[in-house]
Structure 1
Amino acid sequence: MKVHNVELTISAVKPEQYPNNGFPEIALVGRSNVGKSSLINTLIDRRSYARTSGQPGKTQTLNFYKVEEKMYLVDVPGYGYAKVSKKEREKWGRMIETYLTQRPNLKGVISLIDARHEPTELDLQMLEFLHYYQLPVLAVGTKIDKVPRSKWNKVASNALRKTDFLNSDNYVLFSAVSKIGKDSVWDWIDQMIEKD
């Protein structure tokens, strides 16, 4: 998709704040600092529209980015950030779980995993959670530009081996630097939002 119009519609923390225009939504989940904002910026062809931060745990709301007056990309707070209090983490957890399990507009979830490492326990828990709720998932291995090209196949096969439901159709290697994987991610998004 060629993106001309994008707008941060709302940063929500509860269902009554979600947009109510019925547009399909694709959520992005992943550990803090895995590159969600960088992926969003690459998808919408903006350098720094979604705020990237060197400070993990910065996104504390569900950020709804309206794209081309037809869909939303929803940036979900990152998980696994230790410096946030347990109480705060539980609050985020409830907010994220409510959105992922009760939002009828949600058509699919992009789960970001740092390609430089094998999926963590938290990554696998998130993937299992999404699978349990039968949400369509695209796993995206981020920061692949930091991995030698000769190891890309190994990175992908290691990630796929860790789960029993991911396969090469729903796993993409991505780089915000070289834009590798951008078209594949958009192809998947288009398939999800055109269902029904």
Structure 2
Amino acid sequence: MPLFRNAQFEISIAKASGLPAPRGPEIAFAGRSNAGKSSAINTLANHTRLAFVSKTPGRTQLINFFRLQNGAVLVDLPGYGYAEVPEAVRRQWQHLLEDYLTRRPNLVGLVLIMDSRHPLKELDRTMIGWFAPSGRPIHVLLTKSDKLTRSEAAATLAAVRKELEPLGGHVTVQLFSSLKKTGVEDVEKVVGGWLAGLAEEASDM
């Protein structure tokens, strides 16, 4: 069965103090507001409304936990970077995101969502800066790739890979389209590899 199929909602939290006790490996999904994160999660899970797709960027203010069939957890982080959100709310989100990404002990990897037409904005680099020092893997999804020509998509993919190359092999990049449902198997292969690596480590202990 596909990795993200039949994911089940478990809990939403608004503050770091509300985080549930670690239970199973967690894969975080993060991205700028309106980058297509909720659509990507719904496409991966083959579910139309697992993650709420808002017409108004900045609406998702919670960390949402979805339990996968294999016991791992898909963690949907609040979208960041929406200008019209009040400053106090923005600071609260930033604290919540940073706290989760830098301190969560069972977080095994980050799937970072970027609109392929506007990749690597300042806040995307901030997210990478928080998480990369942990040495855990980051997989970048360049969403809405259907809105680019084939040559534009290839050029964007190459440019993002080149900029992130100094971070080493634990950072990977791919094109993705929720509309065309392209790139799903690639995401499953990458994240499945993270989980398989954990299982191997556990068996060697």
TM-score after normalising by structure 2: 0.88
Q: In 1, Cα distance between the equivalents of 2:155 and 2:168? A: 15
* 1:143 matched to 2:144: yes
The secondary structure found in structure 2 opposite 1:49 is coil
Q: Equivalent residue for 2:179?
A: 177
> Which residue identity does 1:171 align to in structure 2?
V
CA shift, 1:84, in A, is 1.1
Mapping 1:58-137, distance limit 5 Å:
58-68=59-69, 70-137=71-138
Q: In 2, Cα distance between the equivalents of 1:7 and 1:60? A: 19
Q: In 2, Cα distance between the equivalents of 1:138 and 1:4? A: 19
Q: In 2, Cα distance between the equivalents of 1:157 and 1:186? A: 21
Q: Give per-residue Cα distances to partners, 1:153-189, cap 9 Å, x unaligned.
A: 2011111233322669710100001111111111111
Change (3 A) 1:4 1:85: closer
Q: In 2, Cα distance between the equivalents of 1:121 and 1:69? A: 35
Q: Which has the larger displacement, 123-132 or 62-71? A: 123-132
The secondary structure found in structure 2 opposite 1:179 is coil
> Which residue identity does 1:193 align to in structure 2?
L
Q: In 2, Cα distance between the equivalents of 1:104 and 1:182? A: 27
Q: Give per-residue Cα distances to partners, 1:57-103, cap 9 Å, x unaligned.
A: 11101000111151111111111111111111111111111111111
* Paired residues, number: 196
Change (3 A) 1:17 1:166: same
The secondary structure found in structure 1 opposite 2:174 is strand
Mapping 1:3-22, distance limit 5 Å:
3-20=4-21, 22=23
Asked if structure 1 preserves the Cα contact closer than 8 Å seen for 2:26 and 2:73, the reply is yes
Q: In 2, Cα distance between the equivalents of 1:176 and 1:124? A: 23
Q: Equivalent residue for 1:156?
A: 157
* 1:33 matched to 2:34: yes
Mapping 1:181-192, distance limit 5 Å:
181-192=183-194
CA RMSD of aligned residues (A): 1.9
Q: Which has the larger displacement, 2-11 or 40-49? A: 2-11
Find runs of 4+ consecutive structure 1 residues off by over 4 angstroms. 166-169
Structure 2 portions without partners, runs of 5+: none
Asked if structure 2 preserves the Cα contact closer than 8 Å seen for 1:25 and 1:193, the reply is no
Change (3 A) 1:169 1:21: closer
The secondary structure found in structure 2 opposite 1:170 is strand
Change (3 A) 1:39 1:14: same
> Which residue identity does 1:8 align to in structure 2?
F
Structure with greater proportional helix content: 2
Asked if structure 2 preserves the Cα contact closer than 8 Å seen for 1:108 and 1:192, the reply is yes
Q: In 2, Cα distance between the equivalents of 1:113 and 1:88? A: 22
The secondary structure found in structure 2 opposite 1:162 is helix
